[in-house]
Amino acid sequence: MKNPFLLVFSFIAFLSFSQQPATLAVQVEQGLNQKAQLTNNSMVKNLPFKSVGPTIMSGRVVDFAVNPSNPIEFYVGYASGGVWHTKNNGTSFSPILDNSPTQNVGSLAVDWNAGTIWVGTGEVNSSRSSYSGIGVLKSTDGGETWQNMGLKDSHHISKIIINPNDPNEVLVSAVGHLYSKNEERGVFKTIDGGKTWNRTLFVNDQTGIIEMDRHPNNFNIIYASSWDKDRKAWNFRGSGVGSAIYKSTDAGNTWRNISVEGSGFPTGEGTGRIGLAVVDENTVYAIHYRQYQRKDDDKDSEDDDTLSKNDFKSMSKETFLALDNKKLDNYLSNNGFQKKYRAENVKQMVRSGSVDPVDLAIYLEDANTLLFDTPVIGAEVYKSINGGKTWKKTHEGHLDGVYYSYGYYFGKIHVEPKDPDGIYIYGVPILKSEDGGKTFTSLSAPNVHADHHALWINPEMPGHLINGNDGGVNISYDDGENWIKCNTPAVGQFYAINVDNQTPYNIYGGLQDNGVWMGSHTNTENVRWHQSGQYPFESIMGGDGMHIQIDDRNNNIVYTGFQFGNYFRLNRGTGDQTYIQPKHELGENPYRYNWQTPILLSSHNQDILYMGGNKLMRSMNQGDKWDAISFDLTQGGKTGNVAYGTLTSISESPFEFGLIYTGSDDGLVYVTRNAGSDWKRLSNAFPKDLWVSRVIASSHKKSRVYVTLNGYRWDDFTPYVYVSEDFGATWKSISSNLPTSPVNVIKEDPANMNVLYLGTDNGAYVSMD
């Protein structure tokens, strides 16, 4: 992709402290125009950048558009990496969206006869990192230039369908805002190539259209599914009464709900995201995510001799005290309880009333385990053989391991074009049924990443599949028995980066669902490693890769981990890996850890490590032992299914040990000037409840501190940047002429105190003053 621009801004006084509502589309557009002007006038716009990798994992794919007459040519849409084009079956790719104001993609469609490309912007998977778009884009010159065709406040566009007999007739489905209500959602239709639009289907201001599919040979017959959801920073409701299936028999001009009560398809509060696949006049499949927790979960056999956390949730004191000590010890050791908790002393704690048996379950229930272990009903496949009048579930029992508790992240189903019983579904794995959905087998493979979002099936060559997942593009010619990987685009989503002090220095980066990687900054991305067998970057951690801290005294000692505070101390010299997450005491409420939990090595003594939960933790011995050095530095959390009320940023002054600042996801900034003995809240003057994306203690002046706030989780894209010259007693806004876009990070130049670097959702900026 083309280089990000560095722009220049200057300081102005802080004018307002009030929290802003969701940013208007016109404000976003003004911000993009402002960015373009700043770019043209920037003194550093020609500063060269080069890609140093890694690219082996690519990034999250959301959609394909494949040339039906020449399937080695196709376009790939990435969640936040733009659109890429290949003419040689993925051997190489070229980016085509770089001349657009956004790289956030939800859907693709191509009129292959005319070469017209349509892009629906804004990812629709509704995760916490599904970034919004700017409407519908159209190119008639292969992506050299783009025209915005409207629907600019739709934020997330799920599907574009072009009438094969009239390319000016186009249907677009919009999910709408992720974190706020809005009206520009539903199904929209144009008959003049996007000059004007008519909304033909609207449910309400928090229900959008997540899917459309048409009859393969009759454009008049189109199905659409609505999705009633509500995401907040602390909770995601992924189902509701507004979720339903609609059908049009007049090319999308009018619609009727066909999944009403009595139709056989789920209705009511538990109805979640729905995917659709139309086979013919009568046959249509749907996949549905039911978020309700199971009542008849049978994962734990009654005669199993091992204990599970569910056993303790309703266990009486008497039953607990009668447990075999060896059996209880096995549970404690196998589930990572601190060594001080063993059968006899835990029983004594229960006898004394200091803990209850249920506490042995609560001890394990952090945000990460709840993500994967919550026994929801999950994925269900339904079929209609009468054009949607009635529906029947195709399978018995549960489809375990497809969606877990986050089925909102997936939601697609496909049917083999020449075999109506050949069904493909995907979530964490990709599965196929050859008997109309009664049974399914996995098509996953060692070189295929998990978490699947897109699939194309060759209608002329059974078994030819193009698959898109969190790790890029895979292609199969034998129906998933074998796959090739096509990952050259540099579109991975990095949570964090750091460098060590070796010569030449190494870069470390944590990626969305692709772990933590490290490699030399001198690397030049090419395919030479295919010959040598040694990829220049090394994977050092799996999962969603998070922050990295490197011991300056010994660069083999690295601290890193994955989501929700699951951190490790790595010794790259010996290969040792030690789990170091701080644990609460049995009977206490578990610590709350952010998805992207902050960690920090002290610059004063690199045996000292800080980690932020809802309290600030400190270890004096590289993470072997921890102490909380604060009270709860957040607003206390909120009831919901997303970890909230957590620390997001930690900074220690290089001038003085114990001068530490923290920021939280609910808008609080604190400082201690005596290593945690006393804390002072500094955020009373800030807009309320906004995510503290970064707090930085200056390396040039002891009393100076910077704070950035991020309103993304309120659909507030205002840039919030502040500086204090008196340890946070007073603040001044330095957002100045920054274009409208949420701010993620601020950094000081290590040599020049007047130079600041800023990263936002739409680019990188620099200030010289």
Residue 301 lies in a domain: no
In three-state form (DSSP H/G/I as H, E/B as E, the rest C), the secondary structure along 671-683 is EECCCCCCCEECC
Query: What digits encode the pLDDT tens for the residues 51-105?
Result: 999 999 899 999 999 999 999 999 999 999 999 999 999 999 999 999 999 999 9
Q: What CA–CA distance (Å, rounded) separates 423 from 410?
A: 16
Specify the amino acid at residue 183. Answer: E
Q: Which of 766, 760, 768 is nearest to 23 (CA)?
A: 760
**Cα gap 648→696, rounded to integer Å:** 12
Specify whether 274 is located in the same domain as 336: no
- pLDDT under 50: residue ranges of the chain: 1-18, 298-303
Q: Last residue of a domain, which of 371, 388, 408?
A: 371
Residues 253 and 326 in one domain: no
Residue 627 forms part of a structural domain: yes
Beta bridge partners of 748: 756
- Within a domain: 313: yes
Query: Using an 8 Å Cβ cutoff, are 714 and 693 in contact?
Result: no
Question: What local confidence, expressed as pLDDT, does residue 345 receive?
Answer: 94
Distance between CA 434 and CA 177 in Å, rounded? 38
- Residue burial 296-316, b: 16+ Cβ < 10 Å; e: rest: eeeeeeeeeeebbbebbeebe
- Number of structural domains (the chain) is 4
Give the end of a domain, one of 433, 454, 476.
433
Amino acid letter for position 504: P
Cβ neighbours, 10 Å, residue 377: 22
Quote the CA–CA distance of 181 and 179 in Å, as a whole number: 7
- Do 29 and 67 lie in a common domain? no
Give the end of a domain, one of 559, 575, 591: 575
Instruction: Tell whether 144 and 79 lie within a shared domain.
Output: yes
Cα distance between residue 235 and residue 373, in whole Å: 17
Asked whether residue 618 falls in the same domain as residue 571, the answer is no
Which 8-state DSSP code applies to residue 204? B
The pLDDT value given to residue 13: 34
Q: Three-class SS string for 521-557?
A: CCCCCCCCHHHHCCCCCEEEECCCCCCCEECCCCCCE
d(CA 741, CA 721): 12
Class of residue 693 by CB neighbours under 10 A (exposed 0-12, middle 13-18, buried 19+): buried
Distances (CA, A) of 73 to 64, 67, 216: 11, 6, 21
CA angle 80, 85, 89 (to 5 degrees): 120
The answer on 16 and 130 residing in a single domain is no
Report yes or no on 389 lying in a domain. yes
Q: Based on the domain organization, do 234 and 102 belong to the same domain?
A: yes
Three-class SS of residue 423? strand
Q: In this structure, what are the phi and psi dihedrals at residue 86, rounded to the nearest 5 degrees? A: -125, 140
Q: Are residues 520 and 640 in the same domain?
A: no
Asked whether residue 472 is assigned to any structural domain, the reply reads: no
In a domain, 640, yes or no: yes
Is 482 inside a domain boundary? no
At residue 297, the pLDDT reads 52
What CATH number is attached to the domain comprising 208? Answer: 2.130.10.10
What single-letter amino acid sits at 578?
T
Residues 662 and 750 placed together within one structural domain of the fold: yes
Residue 476 in any domain: the answer is no
Tell me, yes or no, whether 513 and 384 share the same domain: no
Q: How far apart are CA 691 and CA 646, in angstroms?
A: 10
Domain that holds residue 331: 309-371
Per-residue pLDDT at 526:
86
275 with 159, same domain: the answer is yes
State both tokens at 417: 């074009």
Q: Which amino acid is located at 716 in the chain?
A: D
Residue among 52, 41, 47, 54 nearest 9 (CA): 41
Proportion of the chain in helix, strand, coil states, percent, rounded to 5: 10, 35, 55
Q: Say whether 321 sits in a helix, a strand or coil.
A: helix
**Claim to verify: residue 381 and residue 362 sit in the same structural domain:** no
HEC letters along 559-585: EEEECCCEEEEEECCCCEEEECCCCCC
- The pLDDT of residue 336: 86
pLDDT digits (tens, 9 = 90+) for 203-254: 999 999 999 999 999 999 999 999 999 999 999 999 999 999 999 999 999 9
